[in-house]
Structure 1
Amino acid sequence: MYVTPPTPPVTRPVAAPVWWQVFGPGLTALIGLFMLTAIYRFDGMSEIQRDFGLSDVSLLLIGLVAYLAGAALAAPAGLLLGARFPTAVAVPAACFLLLGVALAAFAPAGGVLAIGRVLSGLGTGAAAGATVALTLKLRQLRAAIAGVFAALAVLSLVLGPVIGQLISEAVGFRVVQLAAIPLLLIALVVTGVIGLVRLSTAKRPAPPVSYGMPYPPPGPQSGGV
């Protein structure tokens, strides 16, 4: 009896990311970098320091060190997983940042503010790591995308104290934190849409055609007359 050989398992190659996938985690990372410096001002004591009665050292620990510590913890995960699972990394990153700015906006004391800054740092670090990982894996426009996001990152850090000071002096520092929430919701929508589009346009290789003969070749039948 002829037996058809088993079909070898099909392994799908991992598709290289495309340039527009960077915009999901990239937008979240830019918002996070802006929020990193938005609580400061260039010409003296910030509104958040005055409202909470924080010393310079306390502001440094709560405002900067806590944020950077969270970013340092989450950035490796973004670097390792961001290129392969950009949506799965960018969505939680935006959620962490969203929760962090909400806690900072409604914080009654410095302890809650510190927790909010750590959560914001986690989201920013994961999104920044995913952005870097995606950019390094690009086959086209890698240099252009890297240059644009590097310039925007520096601009976000520089504009944070300027815009934060203007809003804080007019309506309070809490509004600065609340203003980030609709931007993060937009980042979540952008990330989700990009993930769905990438999923629907991913090329799925067809299973290999079996060249085995399902039936034995025709031949003379054995038997007597």
Structure 2
Amino acid sequence: MFGPGLAALIGLFMLTVIYRFDGMSEIQRNLGLSSQSLLLIGLVSYLVGAALAVPVGLLLGARFPTAVTIPALGFLFFGVLLAAFADAGGLLLVGRAFTGLGTGAAAGATVALILKLRERRGVVAGVTAALAVLALVLAPVIGQLISEAVGFRVIQLAAIPFLLIALIANAVLGFVTLAAAKRQVPPIPYGMPAPPAGPVGPAGFTGDPWQSGGA
């Protein structure tokens, strides 16, 4: 769960990092966006992308968590880059949609893995939900501090090292899981054992009415 969970938390952080609690955000001011435009571009496009990708994560995440999470991180990476270098609302909208796709796939895979647990499912679900809420709440505060100091583009680019860490972690976990699965498969013998011979009766009769040891 660590791999897709980390990717989902990064995506949730990026969901609210472009906002602030006490007024107009830096990205809204720099791109000249109205409140309605920021709502459409920053939130609606993100949620639409997430809604499209969540079913994929739910269906495939429990069986193929690495195969789902690595492309999700790719979407997140691409979306963050587009948002970082956006000079207009259109490019920002595309970037937010890609970020939503990555977040939705990773979140769906995380939920699928939680549902697969047989023990401590409630504890894991509670901790995961608490971390998700924490990421959503802290993101505007951290985003405001960084954006006011060095601009809104830096807070987008700051997500890239964490995405790379998540990508490496998922790749390593995938290799470990694959190696463990191979060790559990019993070796296949080189040859099939010969079928047992039929009972040999008196006078060399083998049990087959068409073959016998006699004349």
Cα distance, 1:138 vs. partner?
A: 1.0
Q: Which moved more, 1:197-206 or 1:181-190?
A: 197-206
Please, which runs of 5 or more residues in structure 1 have no aligned partner? Answer: 1-21
Q: Give the 3-state SS of the residue equivalent to 1:42 in structure 2.
A: coil
Q: What is residue 27 of structure 2 aligned with on the other side?
A: 48
CA offsets 1:102-148 (integer angstroms, 9 cap, x no match): 11001121111100000000000000000000000012332221111
Aligned residue pair count: 202
Cα distance, 1:47 vs. partner?
A: 0.2
Cα distance, 1:207 vs. partner?
A: 6.0
Question: Which ranges of 4 or more aligned residues in structure 1 deviate by more than 6 Å?
Answer: none
Q: What is residue 54 of structure 2 aligned with on the other side?
A: 75
CA offsets 1:44-64 (integer angstroms, 9 cap, x no match): 100000000000000000000
Cα distance, 1:212 vs. partner?
A: 7.3
Give yes or no for the alignment of 1:174 onto 2:153. yes
From 68, 71, 79, the counterpart of 1:100: 79
Q: What is residue 117 of structure 1 aligned with on the other side?
A: 96
Partners of 2:56 and 2:103 in 1: CA distance = 12
Q: Which moved more, 1:139-148 or 1:103-112?
A: 139-148
Cα distance, 1:211 vs. partner?
A: 10
Partners of 1:194 and 1:142 in 2: CA distance = 21
Cα distance, 1:216 vs. partner?
A: 2.3
**Which amino acid is the alignment partner of residue 162 of structure 1?**
V
From 141, 156, 162, the counterpart of 1:162: 141
Q: What is residue 110 of structure 2 aligned with on the other side?
A: 131
Cα distance, 1:223 vs. partner?
A: 3.6
What is the TM-score when the length of structure 1 is the normalising length?
0.85
Cα distance, 1:200 vs. partner?
A: 1.2
Cα distance, 1:28 vs. partner?
A: 0.4
What is the TM-score when the length of structure 2 is the normalising length?
0.89
Please, which runs of 5 or more residues in structure 2 have no aligned partner? Answer: 205-211
CA offsets 1:46-90 (integer angstroms, 9 cap, x no match): 000000000000000000000000000000110111001101100
Give yes or no for the alignment of 1:192 onto 2:171. yes
Partners of 1:112 and 1:43 in 2: CA distance = 26
Partners of 1:215 and 1:157 in 2: CA distance = 68
Structure with more contact order per residue of length (Cα contacts < 8 Å, sep ≥ 6): 1
From 81, 88, 100, the counterpart of 2:67: 88
Question: CA RMSD of the aligned region, Å?
Answer: 1.9
* Percent identical residues: 70
Q: Which has the larger radius of gyration?
A: 2
